[in-house]
Structure 1
Amino acid sequence: MKSSLLALILGSSLLAPFAEATEYNHIQTDASTVGFSYKQMGVAIEGQLKKFDAQFSFDSSQLAAAKAIFEMDLVSLDAGSEEANDELAKKDWFHTLAFPKGKFVSTAFRALGNNRYEVSGAMTIKGKTKDISAVFTMTPQHNTAVFDGTFTLNRADFAIGEGGWADVGVIANDVRIQFHLLADAGK
């Protein structure tokens, strides 16, 4: 038993330099989700972003070269009803007529340990740009990996909910964004 354990340890340490790191560079948008949640008068509301495009390159062994660019189709926001979706498109909210897209561009990635990472970058919504950071886990699965994470967006930073809707006592300022991205090494 001891000799087979020793052989396993030695064998894996001798092969470690030859293990190939994988660069995940293609987000499967049809198998990925981006959701949001917030509180309106104390009641939790959930929704999702139905369409987005991504340029992505992530290799955990080369974080300095990692990049992520997400372009969000804000017209595709779904807050659970047609009435709510129509309201989100209005000038006081996302003003999708003038600003149909939002964008996140990464500036840095860092390892936190145990397949956990942090990405920092610039988020632009409704013509306003703010720095944000998100913590995520990466779970490799052969030639694919799952990236799951969350971050909090302050809606007032982006003028989301202007006029009478600016009162954070009615609709909370904090909007929690959750993402579940399936990436592969396909391109």
Structure 2
Amino acid sequence: MTLRTLVSSIALAGAVLSPAAFAQQKLVPAQSSVGFTIKQMGVPLQGQFKQFDANVQFDTAKPETSKIQFTVNTGSATMGSKETDAELPKATWFNVPAFPQARFESTAVKALGSGKYQVDGKLSIKGQSQNVSVPVTLTQTGATTIAAGTLPIKRLTFKIGEGEWTDTSMVADDVQVTFKLALTGVGKL
């Protein structure tokens, strides 16, 4: 093997294994959703975020090397009521002018078998950060991979609902965040 062939082989291997190899992985927003469920006076209420984005570098052969970054535009929260939707961006709730995005960044990905993964990372909302562990299930249909899961959080940990809204008899502290992310470019599971 000549030096030129060796250098070319190393460069090709580097290109295949580098993060640029994951550049084809894309979120398909039209097929994706991020929602939340909270109880107000014991009654479950549902909402959703209409704008979000993800930067995914998922290696199906070595999931532990994968990286996931996910952002949600907090100003896109809606619960389907004009009055409630007008309150959500205010300082008491999401404080959108000061904190326009919530962010999740992975620190570890672990395969659990049968298309299930544990994704650990840091969740930041409204200037507050917490380490979380997110159970994710991956399924594939054709060229589309669906990453789905539910993450329970405590809203008061992130200062969502301050002042009189810290009373959990009115609005429960427990929030269930659900997501279904459609991705293209992920390798065969």
TM-score by length of 2: 0.83
C-alpha contact (below 8 Å) 1:26/1:57 kept by paired residues: no
Residue aligning to 2:162: 162
C-alpha contact (below 8 Å) 1:147/1:180 kept by paired residues: yes
Which stretches of structure 1, 4 residues or longer, exceed 3 Å deviation after superposition? Answer: none
SS at match of 1:89: coil
CA distance in 2, matches of 1:82, 1:56: 34
Task: Please say if 1:95 is aligned against 2:95.
Answer: yes
Q: CA deviation at 1:86?
A: 1.0
Matches within 5 A, 1:1-187: 25-185=25-185
SS at match of 1:94: coil
Identical counterparts, % of pairs = 38
Ranges in structure 1 where 5+ consecutive residues have no aligned partner: 1-22
Residue aligning to 1:3: none
Moved more, 54-63 or 42-51: 54-63
Q: How many residues align?
A: 165
Residue aligning to 1:8: none
SS at match of 2:102: strand
Residue aligning to 2:9: none
Q: CA deviation at 1:97?
A: 1.4
C-alpha contact (below 8 Å) 1:121/1:132 kept by paired residues: yes
CA distance in 1, matches of 2:179, 2:70: 12
Q: CA deviation at 1:92?
A: 0.9
CA distance in 2, matches of 1:108, 1:30: 28
TM-score by length of 1: 0.84
The one-character-per-residue Cα deviations of 1:38-94 (angstroms, maximum 9, x if unpaired) are 100000000101001110111222112211111110000011112111111111111
SS at match of 2:69: strand
The one-character-per-residue Cα deviations of 1:141-167 (angstroms, maximum 9, x if unpaired) are 232211111110110110001110001
